[in-house]
Amino acid sequence: MKRIEMNVPDLFSLTSNDTTVSSKRFLPTKPTLTGVLSINFLKLKHTGNLKTIQDYLCSFESQSVPVQAGQTPPLLQYFGTLLTRGKLNAFESLELSRLVVNQNKKNLLENWLAEDKLECSEELGDLVKVGYTPDYLFLLQTILRADPQRNLIREATAFLLDVLKPNLPEHAFLQTKTAKEYCEQLGVDSCIKLFEQFKSYEGLYFFLGSYLSSSEDPDIHFKYIEAAAKTGQIKEVERVTRESNFYDAEKTKNFLMEAKLPDARPLINVCDRFGFVPDLTHYLYTNNMLRYIEGYVQKVEVNPGNAPLVVGQLLDDECPEDFIKGLILSVRSLLPVEPLVEECEKRNRLRLLTQFLEHLNSAFSGNFNLQNLLILTAIKADASRVMDYINRLDNFDGPAVGEVAVEAQLYEEAFAIFKKFNLNVQAVNVLLDNIRSIERAVEFAFRVEEDAVWSQVAKAQLREGLVSDAIESFIRADDATQFLDVIRAAEDGNVYHDLVRYLLMVRQKSKEPKVDSELIYAYAKIDRLSDIEEFILMPNVANLQNVGDRLYDEALYEAAKIIYAFISNWAKLAVTLVKLKQFQGAVDAARKANSSKTWKEVCFACVDAEEFRLAQMCGLNIIVQVDDLEEVSDYYQNRGCFNELISLMESGLGLERAHMGIFTELGVLYARYRPEKLMEHIKLFSTRLNIPKLIRACDEQQHWKELTYLYIQYDEFDNAATTIMNHSPEAWDHMQFKDVAVKVANVELYYKAVHFYLQEHPDLINDLLHAGFLHLIKPYMVAVQSNNVWAVNEALNEIYVEEEDYDRLRESIDLHDNFDQIGLAQKVEKHELLEMRRIAAYIYKKAGRWKQSIALSKKDNLYKDAMETCSQSGDRELSEELLVYFIEQGKKECFASCLFVCYDLIRPDVALELAWMHNMIDFAFPYLLQFIREYSSKVDDLVKDKIEALSEVKAKEREEKDMVAQQNMYAQLLPLALPAPPMPGMGGAGMGGGYGPPPMGGMGMPPMPQFGMPPMGSY
């Protein structure tokens, strides 16, 4: 078939629902179903039978013609052919326009209409909605500019709202303008929700377009992309995904994949920019958009560097190998080789690259990287060709390729690579670690004679337990680095002769304490003691202490003795000599060490060896330590050496550092093994004994007499009395018991003691009672105390003092006074209890010895008692002295209290003077207020009494005046001729001069004037 070539750039940019146009050039090379259909259709068109053409087109569309990768769909091939030949008829124009409108590429229609390629029809007009739409915005702007004075912006907006109520798609731009009018009031998010609620994506597209350039909000950018995609603005989607840096890449990618736009460039932009290349590849492949995959990796302006990722994803999607190989070969030099190899290697598909790499190597012969890749690919994909490549190629990275061969378990090939590049260490490591042939490794080491190779061989021999061979190899390698492993292996294998040779070599290279220490140990193991003595005299860095301890632990005592003696470690030397049965030397060394631990070790060893003289020499240095005494005693006793232990303790009594433990332990030993010496020892050293411990020993051994004596010395009189009564045949002594009985604390023991004497010693019962058993009759004395008998009162008061029952004692003093009060006060005034001393002050107060009572109260800081005593004494001098005492002691509060308690005794001028002189006016002020109040009341009472007295005098005088006035009135009423009868007591001398009123002075009345009422006296 003749090759047909047509250039239809506009038409081949279209896509169908199930395929993608893969090339702008249609190149059919053999008869196909599509070609046959196209030729037949051209024949029908040439005949002009329109109905047949329509039927043919319908059948053509209904056939499901499979589209192979890289080919154009049949329908588009047909229309492309027609457009190159001329103008389409009405039916063809309508069918092609449907395809264009479905993919929102109306610009193609405009171009074809301009070129007169389409035949217009009413159906075509309805399809593309060609018609007139009023430009409301332009009209309103024109009106406003024509009459700007009216400023009818709100009216215009209201008009637009009425116009836009139908919510038609062609109103989207005006809706956007209206939304912007109220955006500031509603907010951008609310406007977006309104657009989305009514699914007005065109309005949302125009609305967000005005904010896109000034916003960095990822949500606005995404919403804009979404609206543009849903309104068919594919070019705008492509531009924003390419230029914007603010949208959410993951979210946008997912949306574009779900939207399945006919143009994949927006998705390519997102995935390429934000690293979603595998997702992009998977999407394009599964949607049969292979043309975009080819364009993505082939074009330099896109991103051929991501071709390895594309190939890897295609492999994951199980894409045919032929397509992948073709894709790789089409990129060629633009393809990054190493990432491609890595992606294929991950999926174990390196064999795909063999042809590609050989082609590159042949093109670039001797290229270092290509040779590396060729061998590496062969290692991964075709191991049989690796050895041939190794022998033929020379310019590759031997170390790296060899390591890869090892990882691929191509050990002979790896050995050949390392050997070829003189990497002898790596080569021998392959023999040792991978091929596991020590014999071949030794042979190879003899051939190359390199220290590093011998060192590797030695390490391998050491790992395999060939210690002697390993040491020989290390010596050949002159390698001292592995001395720790060699030492460990030699000790495990007990090859100390070889180890000595190795360590002598190591010492020549480094000064390590471990090496010198191990050399001494190795000498000891092979019994070369003279070499040890010679070595330690020379300069060395051995840790001799650790070596000595190690030799001692492994029972190499002779060698340890040499070390310890050299470093003067007398303690370890002593125990070492003990192990060697050299006891005298051990004692001498212990004396130099002078440590308790060493003395014990030597002492115990001597005891075991029955060297008791040496053991005692050591023991005397141990028992002076309290903590070690019991251990020594137990050691002797556990071995039955009682006499030797007692001898040791008796010798220890005379030591300067002898302590209580020695005396006590000797007492315990006497109680167990020498009871005849126990009482003498107790009486001699009672003050230096641990009595509780010895009490336990005597109780265990049933030495009752000694036990009683110890209880008495320890002031445990109850236990002493109990022991005497329970074991009377051995422990009773009358005088001793009387002394004990009066000191017991448990009253019950008194009754037991009386019962005991009644049973065993009735003749001594009276003597016992007089010894201090008055407590037994205390209830009787309490019952008869109401008779106030001197002896009863004295006895009970004494009991109360002994029992420190101050409440009962005070009650007895208050109710019964027939006792020696001063004697009792003197007895308790120095008692240790405060309440007892307070009773002494109370007795002195009752006896009228005020000063003594006050002195005791002041001594015990009982200031309230002192104040009350002063108040009761009525002695002003004592009260003022107590006031001065409080001032001297700085007791300001007590000063104020004393002023009130002794208020009637303290003179105000004294109180004020003392307060003023000692800056205590504030504390004296309550007293002053009380004093002024009292004296004010007294003055008020005096004034009141005086006024009442004057009132009585005046009333009496008034009565007398009234009486005189009445008399005068009576006199005036009498006749003048008749003289008044003479008044009794008047003499006749007064009558000789005529008749006049008699004088009234003799009657106690004031003299009356010659005329009128007598004057009123003034008050």
Q: What is the pLDDT of residue 573?
A: 92
Q: Which of 743, 770, 792 is the last residue of a domain?
A: 743
Q: How many CA atoms lie within 13 A of 401 on its CB side?
A: 31
In a domain, 196, yes or no: yes
Dihedral angle over CA of 632, 637, 643, 645, nearest 10: 10
Given a cut of 60, whether residue 830 has pLDDT beyond it is yes
Residues 460, 503 share a domain: no
Residues 540, 417 share a domain: no
Q: What is the DSSP letter of 433?
A: I
Q: What is the pLDDT of residue 767?
A: 74
In a domain, 233, yes or no: no
Given a cut of 60, whether residue 37 has pLDDT beyond it is no
pLDDT in tens, 408-464: 888 888 888 888 888 889 888 998 888 888 889 998 889 888 888 999 899 898 888
Cα–Cα distance for residue pair 170/164, rounded to 1 Å: 10
Could you tell me if 618 and 651 are in contact, meaning their C-beta atoms sit under 8 angstroms apart? no
861-875 mean pLDDT? 89
Q: Which helix (H) or strand (E) element contains residue 229?
A: helix 218-230
In a domain, 731, yes or no: yes
Least confident of 43-47, 176-180, 623-627, 754-758: 43-47
Q: How many CA atoms lie within 13 A of 267 on its CB side?
A: 23
- Residue whose token pair is 């027939």: 818
Residues 687, 560 share a domain: yes
Mean residue pLDDT across the chain: 80
Instruction: Kindly report the pTM of this predicted structure.
Output: 0.40
Given a cut of 70, whether residue 996 has pLDDT beyond it is no
pLDDT band at 722 (very low <50, low <70, confident <90, very high): very high
Q: What is the DSSP letter of 63?
A: S
Least confident of 432-441, 680-689, 778-787: 778-787
Total domain count, the chain: 6
718-739 mean pLDDT? 90
301-310 mean pLDDT? 79
Cα–Cα distance for residue pair 1000/6, rounded to 1 Å: 181
Residues 137, 82 share a domain: no
Q: What is the pLDDT of residue 9?
A: 41
Residues 579, 510 share a domain: yes
Two structure tokens written together for 189: 């998010």
pLDDT band at 1011 (very low <50, low <70, confident <90, very high): very low
Could you tell me if 605 and 582 are in contact, meaning their C-beta atoms sit under 8 angstroms apart? no
- Residue whose token pair is 């191509």: 410
Higher-scoring residue by pLDDT: 5, 893: 893
Q: Which domain holds residue 186?
A: 133-214
Given a cut of 60, whether residue 748 has pLDDT beyond it is yes
pLDDT band at 772 (very low <50, low <70, confident <90, very high): low
Higher-scoring residue by pLDDT: 149, 628: 628
Angle at 460 between CA 458 and CA 461, to 5 degrees: 65
Q: What is the pLDDT of residue 250?
A: 94
621-627 mean pLDDT? 90
Q: Which of 743, 768, 784 is the last residue of a domain?
A: 743
pLDDT band at 590 (very low <50, low <70, confident <90, very high): very high
pLDDT band at 548 (very low <50, low <70, confident <90, very high): very high
Residues 460, 565 share a domain: no
- CB count, 10 Å around CB of 815? 11
CATH of the domain at 521: 1.25.40.10
The dihedrals phi and psi of 7, each to the nearest 5 degrees, come to -105, 105
Highest mean pLDDT pick, 24-38, 359-373, 924-938: 924-938
Q: What is the pLDDT of residue 130?
A: 47
530-558 mean pLDDT? 91
Q: What is the pLDDT of residue 139?
A: 58
Residues 506, 383 share a domain: no
In a domain, 833, yes or no: no
Residues 499, 475 share a domain: no
Given a cut of 70, whether residue 277 has pLDDT beyond it is yes
From the list 261, 231, 260, 239, the residue with the least C-alpha distance to 106 is: 231
Q: Which helix (H) or strand (E) element contains residue 460?
A: helix 451-463
Q: What is the pLDDT of residue 215?
A: 87
Residues 152, 89 share a domain: no
Residues 941, 873 share a domain: yes
Higher-scoring residue by pLDDT: 410, 988: 410
Q: What is the pLDDT of residue 1014?
A: 38
Q: What is the pLDDT of residue 143?
A: 55
Residues 517, 624 share a domain: yes
Could you tell me if 69 and 22 are in contact, meaning their C-beta atoms sit under 8 angstroms apart? yes
Q: What is the pLDDT of residue 707?
A: 93
Cα–Cα distance for residue pair 420/375, rounded to 1 Å: 15
In a domain, 252, yes or no: no
Nearby residues of 245 by Cβ (< 8 Å), 6 or more positions away: none
Residues 593, 646 share a domain: yes
Nearby residues of 149 by Cβ (< 8 Å), 6 or more positions away: none
Mind spelling out the 3-state secondary structure of 634-659?
A: HHHHHCCCHHHHHHHHHHHCCCCCCC
Dihedral angle over CA of 679, 684, 687, 692, nearest 10: -20
Q: What is the pLDDT of residue 39?
A: 44
Could you tell me if 7 and 37 are in contact, meaning their C-beta atoms sit under 8 angstroms apart? no
In a domain, 662, yes or no: yes
pLDDT band at 351 (very low <50, low <70, confident <90, very high): confident
In a domain, 231, yes or no: no
Q: Which of 493, 521, 551 is the last residue of a domain?
A: 493
3-state helix, strand, coil in the chain (%, to 5): 70, 0, 25
Given a cut of 50, whether residue 739 has pLDDT beyond it is yes
Q: Which helix (H) or strand (E) element contains residue 693?
A: helix 691-701
The dihedrals phi and psi of 869, each to the nearest 5 degrees, come to -60, -45
In a domain, 2, yes or no: no
pLDDT band at 301 (very low <50, low <70, confident <90, very high): low
Cα–Cα distance for residue pair 139/152, rounded to 1 Å: 13
Given a cut of 80, whether residue 234 has pLDDT beyond it is yes
Two structure tokens written together for 205: 């597209």
For the chain, count helices (H), then strands (E).
Answer: 62, 0
Nearby residues of 660 by Cβ (< 8 Å), 6 or more positions away: 688, 689, 690
- Residue whose token pair is 């046959």: 36
Cα–Cα distance for residue pair 373/130, rounded to 1 Å: 63
